[in-house]
Homo-oligomer: A and B are copies of this chain.
Amino acid sequence: MVAGPTSTGPGKERLRLWIRLLRASRTIEAELRERLKKEFDTTLPRFDVMAALYRVPEGMLMSDLSRFLLVSNGNVTGIVDRLVSEGLVTRARRNGDRRTSMVRLTEEGAKSFATIAAVHEGWVGELLGGVSDDEARRLAGMLKSFRSNWEGRE
């Protein structure tokens, strides 16, 4: 998914775009992953889950998390398990529907996330430093329209 087009023709331009998109996000992702590990001894998936939960103090269901993060159910189970064992997150059985459990950041989890998120935002600013403000806005706009199209599509 990271190699070049293997042909010429009409699909070539979009294939090139896709490869660049993927290389850019992999490069940035790898750098962020490494820094999260080195500086905070955590991982991207844990960070993602905590970021999702941070926005919603009342908590999220497992299925909400997996939908929001674009990953499978079983995946979220494992990550939340580890966050619970680290005391950063709680899983609370609900009275209403006993199949579901509400996942919330603990106080320690919220505090920890806030610290990391502030540094993380600085890293992203640094890593995307080569993109001008104007470009950043236009790129973000294009990607937003891609997303809307996509969501209409399914």
Contact B69–A6 (Cβ < 8 Å): no
A16 CB–B CB distance under 8 Å? yes
Interchain Cβ contacts under 8 Å between A and B, 24 examples: A1-B32, A1-B44, A1-B47, A5-B121, A6-B54, A7-B121, A13-B136, A14-B128, A15-B121, A18-B127, A20-B139, A21-B24, A21-B139, A21-B143, A22-B29, A23-B70, A25-B25, A27-B147, A127-B150, A130-B145, A130-B149, A130-B150, A135-B142, A138-B138
Contact surface of A with B, Cβ cutoff 8 Å: 1-7, 10-18, 20-30, 32, 44, 47-48, 51-52, 54-55, 68-70, 114, 117-118, 121-122, 124-125, 127-131, 133, 135-140, 142-150, 153
